[in-house]
Amino acid sequence: MSDALTLSNSAGKLRLLLAVRGRAMSNRVAQAVRNAPVRLAAALFLIALIWVGLYGLFHLVFVQLSRTPLEATIAIPLVFNFFFVAMLALLAFSNAIIVYGTLFGKTEAPFLLTLPVAPLDVVTVKYLECLALSSWSLILLGLPMMFAMAATSKEPIFYFFFLGFFLAFIPIPGAIGLLIAWAVARFFPRRATRAVTVLAVVALVVVIVAVLRSVQFGETATEVWLRAFLSRMSFVQSALLPNNWVASGIDNALQGQFTVSFCYLGVTLANALFLSWLAVRTVSRHFDRAYDRASAGRGKSERLAIRASGGPAGWVFFYLPLPLRLIAAKDLRTFFRDPLQWSQLTILFGLLVLYLTNMPTLRLEFSASGWFLFIPFLNLCAVSLILATFTCRFVFPLVSLEGQKLWLLGVLPLQRGRVLYAKFAFSMTVTLLVAVGAMSLAVWMLRLDAVWSAIHLVVTIAICFGLCGFSVGIGARLPMFDQNNVARIASGLGGTTNLLASVALVALVLTGVGMATWDSRFDSAHAIPDGRSILLCAAAVAVSVAAGCAALRLGARHFSRVEV
Amino acid sequence: MTDGLDDSAIILSGVRKSYGRTMAVRNLSLRVSQGELFAFLGPNGAGKTTTIKMIVGLLRPDEGSVSVCGHAIGSNGVAAKARLAYVPDQPFIYDKLTGREFLYFVAEMFSIPTQQRDLRLNTLIRRLDIGEFLDHLTESYSHGMKQKIVLAAALLHDPAVLVIDEPMVGLDPRTVRSVKNLFTEHTRNGGTIFMSTHTLEIAEALADRIGIIHRGDLIAVGTLAELKKQAKREHSLEDVFLELTEVNDE
């Protein structure tokens, strides 16, 4: 019996935990290069494309701003301030969600906790992992902006300077997220996900309402108005907020004041390190109790006693035959029991509703010739793109998620391809409710003429049809049956194909409606649209419905033959 | 803290654990000696896994204490876990590591010298018949293959206490025989095994003592003969188990 175990020191264990991640990552990359080189190349190409596109866009903005000294002097620090304050909030919540899943979840954490490794090492390695996972958005969006800024200033040293600020900033929201996740596990273990979601939604709504209430647009955008607006926005420039240290540091570097900039970099770095130390120490010291509370609270919530075919979930799909109704009702129930799904839909459309209800504060003359169709068209664009985001993220993985239940679906007394129609009915129900609701609110707020209102609503329904058809059909044609992780399914080859197809469909449909809008721009607000405009909109609707049907058919044919 | 006064490998003293209003384990006191194979039986939801999770330090008792080899699992967790191995009913393996890489990781975590690791691993490769797939990524393994790798990982550092939840699920008959032999050798060499199972034949064949938990209460503990006496049954463990759990339902 090897009783005299010599325990490695803590640093050794931490190195080992990091090394095993490195090995898993290198195996993953080697596997991707060996098995799917085209997919890997396509992913790298798309990332490069996004980077180049963003770089070009930001470069254009900064060049434009540099031509107008007043706006550049005032606006650039504010742009950075807004960018980093938004990143601070987003990354903190993103980290909190990832940390909660990884540190208090049911996979690796319990395995590590049974090994002779100190909680400090487990928390440290998970913290570093989450920083890397949650910071990709900052890298993806932020670096092209920084490089564009550096290129505009023609000082190569800025590249390194900006990178330094980025790296120093990332741990601050990370540490806040770690503390939030720990507090939720420790104090709200029973409804952890719900608590984080509600907290995030409330915080977001409060911030947006506060911002919208502070912005009252005048009749003209003068320099006086700009100064007043910037003065109202000054709360994001508080000296105590990390976003201000980064923004001020970058601004000072741009003005050649490197000493001051270094000072801000030092402040950012010192605070990042201190916060990380504090968060990791606090969480690791009280980790076992938090883990115990999270584990004990998991899955012990309220009793749910609903008949499979009954209850509201069953009534919604009254028009479907019983077997399909059962499947659709099951999906609807799962949707409402998963806060991640309904909360994202609520946030996306909540923001849209907030914007729509605040439109009167714009004080624009919507009934004026040339304007009355432009804003509704933009609203339609917003609704369509949000819908595409939702269907790609949540509807597309539905079929893949059934992969491990095909033993059941495969032996049910119905054609397997028909399962897709239940998925389609479910996704249409959810998306129609929110999209038609939002568009109805939009046309009502704008007092849009009845014919144009009807056109916008019909186009919205057609886009719902097309996008749901794409997500379900392509989801069945290019599934990932071995995967349970929704995010991974949505970001795989099928998910990327679906995203590109959905964006292309939305662009096509909106082009038709956009042309009709352009043709009617000089009509009076209550004029009936001409034949060409109606024809264009009808063609857009037909394209969307036909594309949805074709994708569904393709998916159903493949799904009925698939072997798992 | 090591008292060194008795030979108990696992001690549970007045342990209680609840999930909200549900009492999972009620005032459980139990000692498992060094070199003993203890089978822990009970119907679904009786509190077996909760008890096991408290022994390995994944859950904290609301009341009472748990110690492994004289080390309190709460206050001296790392020292206790160095002497412990745990095989859960749904084990975790890094899917992007090969079986060998995973086993090396575990060996290093327990600070096993390389030579000793290789020697031990070769024995386990032969006994569990894992050589054929050891260098493939674990994501391609079947349930049985994963179970074999996890058992190898658990036995690699020759733990003083082995805690297993349903050890034979997914294993082929040849491996079941190997695992039984490995368990017997392990206890013969002074190791302790705490095993939760629904396969009563295995408990009957291997266990030195058997404990039956029902609705959070340890309703019976002893050798098979003692349990038969308590249940007033002379037949199989299955009859004893059904009799005891039925009586307690009434």
pLDDT tens, B172-213?
888 888 899 999 999 999 999 999 988 888 888 899 999 999
Task: Tell me the domains of chain B and their CATH numbers.
Answer: 1-83+160-250 (3.40.50.300), 92-158 (no CATH)
Cβ of A114 within 8 Å of Cβ of B190? The answer is no
Cβ of A31 within 8 Å of Cβ of B96? The answer is yes
d(CA A404, CA A385): 31
Whether A541 has a pLDDT exceeding 70, the answer reads yes
Whether A219 has a pLDDT exceeding 70, the answer reads no
Whether A64 has a pLDDT exceeding 70, the answer reads yes
Residues A446-492: tens digit of each pLDDT: 778 888 899 999 999 999 999 999 999 999 999 888 777 777 788 77
Whether A218 has a pLDDT exceeding 70, the answer reads no
d(CA B212, CA B46): 9
Q: In this predicted structure, what is the pLDDT of residue A5?
A: 37
* Closest CA–CA distance from residue B14 to any residue of chain A (Å): 18
Q: How far is CA A505 from CA A433, A498, A510, B162, in A?
A: 21, 10, 8, 58
Q: Is B72 near chain A, with CB under 8 Å? A: no
Q: Is B109 near chain A, with CB under 8 Å? A: yes
* Closest CA–CA distance from residue B51 to any residue of chain A (Å): 13
Q: In this predicted structure, what is the pLDDT of residue B194?
A: 96
Residues A507-530: tens digit of each pLDDT: 999 999 999 888 887 776 667 788
* Closest CA–CA distance from residue A239 to any residue of chain B (Å): 43
* Closest CA–CA distance from residue A102 to any residue of chain B (Å): 13
In this structure, of A26-35, A253-262, A470-479, the range with the lowest mean pLDDT score is A253-262
Cβ of A288 within 8 Å of Cβ of B101? The answer is no
Q: Is A110 near chain B, with CB under 8 Å? A: yes
Q: In this predicted structure, what is the pLDDT of residue A155?
A: 66
Nearest residue to B111 via CA among A526, A2, A393: A2
Look at residue B160 and give its three-state secondary structure: coil
Structure tokens that stand for A489 in this block? 């399914």
Cβ of A27 within 8 Å of Cβ of B98? The answer is yes
Q: In this predicted structure, what is the pLDDT of residue B41?
A: 92
Residues A385-440: tens digit of each pLDDT: 888 988 998 899 988 888 777 777 777 777 778 888 889 998 998 899 888 988 89
Look at residue B137 and give its three-state secondary structure: strand
Structure tokens that stand for A9 in this block? 């020191």
Q: How many residues does chain B have?
A: 250
Q: Is B111 near chain A, with CB under 8 Å? A: yes
Residue from A5, A103, A104, A284 whose CB has the most chain B CBs within 10 Å, to mutate? A5
Long-range contacts of residues A226-230, Cβ cutoff 8 Å, at least 24 apart = A226/A71, A226/A74, A227/A74, A230/A74, A230/A75, A230/A78
Tell me the whole-structure pTM to 2 decimals.
Answer: 0.75
Residues in chain B closer than 8 A to A190 (CB atoms): 20
Residues B50-66: tens digit of each pLDDT: 999 999 988 889 999 99
Give the mean pLDDT of chain A: 80
Cβ of B96 within 8 Å of Cβ of A115? The answer is no
Which chain A residue has the Cα nearest residue B69? A3
Residues B11-46: tens digit of each pLDDT: 999 999 988 778 899 999 999 999 999 999 999 888
What is the mean pLDDT of the segment spanning A99-110? Answer: 84
Interface A-B, measured as beta-carbon pairs within 8 A, has a size of: 99
Q: Are A434 and A345 in contact (CB under 8 A)?
A: yes
Strand partners, B85: B162
Structure tokens that stand for A492 in this block? 């795989």
Q: Is A288 near chain B, with CB under 8 Å? A: yes
Instruction: Collect all residues with Cβ–Cβ distance below 8 Å to A113 and sequence separation of at least 6.
Output: A119, A122, A288, A291, B57, B58
* Closest CA–CA distance from residue A305 to any residue of chain B (Å): 18
Residues in chain A closer than 8 A to B78 (CB atoms): 7, 116-118
Interface ipTM: 0.84
What is the mean pLDDT of the segment spanning A195-199? Answer: 65
Q: Which amino acid is at A451?
A: V
| Residue located via tokens 């479907």 | A320
Q: In this predicted structure, what is the pLDDT of residue A195?
A: 62
| Residue located via tokens 């911030």 | A207
Cβ density class A343-382: b for 16+ within 10 Å, e for less: bebeebbbebbebbeebeeeeeebeeeeebbbbbbebbeb
Structure tokens that stand for A208 in this block? 């947006």
* Closest CA–CA distance from residue B86 to any residue of chain A (Å): 7
Cβ neighbours around B167 below 10 Å, total: 24
Residue from A25, A114, A289, A483 whose CB has the most chain B CBs within 10 Å, to mutate? A114
Q: Is B158 near chain A, with CB under 8 Å? A: yes
Which chain B residue has the Cα nearest residue A110? B58
* Closest CA–CA distance from residue A486 to any residue of chain B (Å): 17
- The partner residue sitting opposite B109, judged by closest CB among A23, A110, A117, is A117
